Amino acid sequence: MHAALLARRLPTRAVSQSLRSYASKPPNGSQSPSPASNSEPTPPAPTPETPQPSTIRSLDFTSTLEDDKKQRTGAKSSKDSLSSIEKKRRIYGRVSLLALLLGAGAYGVYLGREWEEEELKAKRLTLETAPSTWSARARTRFTDLFDFFSKPQWNELLPPPLPAPYQKPLTLLIDLDDFLVTSTWDRQHGWRTAKRPGVDYFLAYLSQFYEIVLFTSQHYYTALPIVDKLDPHHFYIVYQLFRESMTAHNGEVVKDLSYLNRDLSKVILVDTNPDFVKTHPENAIIVPKWKGDPKDKGLIALIPFLESIGIYKPADVRPILEAYRGKDIPLEYAKKEAEAKLKHIEEWKASGAGKGVGRLTFSSLFGGSSDPAQSSPIPPTYLEAKRAEAQRAYREEQLWIEQNRAQLEKEKEEQDKAMQAEMSGSLWKMLGVGAGGPPAQQQQESSGPSQAAATATATAAAPKAP
């Protein structure tokens, strides 16, 4: 302890000098000869050729490489000697890796095989449209393994068409948001949905010519209540397709009509978003969005164009849509129909049947009056005659609905109750309570088809007009 205190008091220079003097002393405590003593001769200094080992103690305690080599025991490294189990593991690993590579190569060759008829049918392809090279076939089949979330839930979005004469010759796909309705939100009322002017007439009138299918980007749980308000008795909208029926295409969701299970030459898609129709733009009509204007006439103005296609029933609607692409369809079609009407009048006059006819009015030019006493002597065109029939059928249908509204409301209420009971019974079955659900549900199942199914069948079979 005293030495430590003394060392602390000594200056740094003194401590370093003491260490040097200690290192210069010979070993075994021998004293160095004084310079005055000459009793023994001084040994000669070692020459550079014969180095002598140093006897001076060193403060460097780091071991050198030679010392490490001297301290090695000579035992053999385990890196160079493997046990038999480890050797087997390595062999099995290499064999497994080789088998995996061979299997991957064989599977790649199998993916590039020629197309089969059933496979092309499932992919909705033909030999002309399907990839023809081996690499393209393999890449197509390989990517199909990972497109579970990029395809619709079903390979066919619609059931097979009904047999004639129940199936309409054309299919009309219509959007919901900003086309039939629009939704707004404010702090006072929250979300509110408004119907576009003329939407009831649009659906009821065109349902005579088209199989109307609602195809919206909304999910079913938000769109179903709106559809129920638009068509409460399910007379006009035959099917509904929601967000779950859309596909992913280059990172965007689209309405891929190849999954529709319909002849695309008979399909028209009306939408407000051009990004949704990228896969089939030749079947699409892009219209401006409705922003909630209560005086809007865009929906009504589109009816004559769609009506004419439904009346003439062309073999392929796509060339007609291509002719109007990028144009104001209601305005352009009105010009075409007016030109056709004038041509019809000139042909009628040239045939001699128009002699002695009085003056021609604007209303008579387009068949404005339905009264035979006030109607024009000019015979109507084929389009005008069919239009008059369709409008008469529409008025009769609306009259029948108005006369049977109470009965329709009652049937709808019963159908909703039966559907709720059926859903409740399904929940009981899922939870495993009882043998077949609640007693009321068991009674319905034992007595035959449910009331909901019977009501739906009767509604579908009932005529729309008396």
Query: pLDDT tens digits, the chain, 466 residues: what are they?
Result: 444 444 444 454 544 555 455 555 555 544 444 444 444 555 555 555 555 555 555 555 555 555 555 555 555 555 557 788 888 888 999 999 999 999 988 988 888 888 888 888 777 677 887 888 888 888 888 877 766 556 776 778 999 998 888 889 999 999 999 999 998 888 888 888 899 999 999 999 999 999 999 999 999 999 999 999 999 988 999 999 999 899 887 778 899 998 899 999 999 999 999 999 999 999 999 999 999 899 999 999 999 999 999 999 999 999 999 999 999 999 999 999 999 999 999 988 888 765 555 444 544 544 544 444 445 688 999 999 999 999 999 999 999 999 999 999 999 888 888 888 877 665 555 555 444 444 443 333 433 333 333 344 334 334 343 3
Task: Give the pLDDT score at 211.
Answer: 96
Half-sphere exposure of 404 toward its Cβ, with a 13 Å CA cutoff?
16
According to the model, what pLDDT value does residue 128 have? 80
Helical axes 382-403 vs 199-206, angle rounded to 10°: 110
In terms of pTM, does the model score above 0.75? no
Q: Tokens 């087997």 belong to which residue?
A: 88
Instruction: Respond yes or no: is residue 177 known to be catalytic.
Output: yes
Chain centroid to Cα 26, Å, comes to 91
* Integer Cα distance of 157 and 246 in angstroms: 10
HEC assignment per residue over 143-203: HHCCCCCCCCCCCCCCCCCCCCCCCCCEEEEECCECCCEEEEEECCCEEEEEECCCHHHHH
For residue 296, indicate whether it is catalytic. Answer: no
Q: What is the pLDDT of residue 86?
A: 87
Take residue 460 and report the two structure tokens written for it: 């579908």
- The span from the CA of 27 to the CA of 17, in Å, is 19
Active-site annotation holder among 177, 178, 256, 271: 177
Answer whether 182's CB lies under 8 Å from 193's CB. yes
* Set 67, 147, 175, 271: catalytic member: 175
Tokens of residue 240, six digits: 């509904």
Is beta strand 247-249 parallel, antiparallel or unpaired with respect to 252-254?
A: antiparallel
Mind listing the domains of the chain with CATH numbers?
170-336 (3.40.50.1000), 413-466 (no CATH)
